[in-house]
Amino acid sequence: MAIDQNSPLWAHLADWIKVLLTLPDPPPEQLVPATDIVILTAISALTARLSPALGTELRKALPALQARAKAAAG
């Protein structure tokens, strides 16, 4: 999912990351799906700013991670 650089979603994503950083490890069970989605969204958005080789490797790994996060959420 591409997020436009001027989108207000970046602020929401940053807020969620701040929340995640303050949670105990492991996070409370009810927040695990949200935690996974926020982490995967951040990784996905950041791959666009990495070197092409590293970005390609991360993009190859993301579908399996996203499927696992969706299965946990659903």
Q: Give the tens place of pLDDT for each residue, 24-50.
A: 777 778 777 777 777 777 777 777 777
Going from the C-alpha of 9 to that of each of 45, 57, 61, 69, 74, the distances in angstroms are: 11, 25, 24, 20, 23
User: How far, CA to CA in Å, does 42 sit from each of 38, 66?
Assistant: 6, 12
Task: Tell me the pLDDT band of 60, cut-offs 50, 70 and 90.
Answer: confident
* pTM listed for this prediction: 0.44
Measured torsion, CA atoms of residues 19, 22, 27, 32, in degrees rounded to the nearest 10: 20
Half-sphere exposure of 7 (CA within 13 A, CB side): 11
pLDDT, position 2: 60
Q: What residue ranges do the domains of the chain occupy?
A: 9-73
Residue 74 has pLDDT above 70, yes or no: no
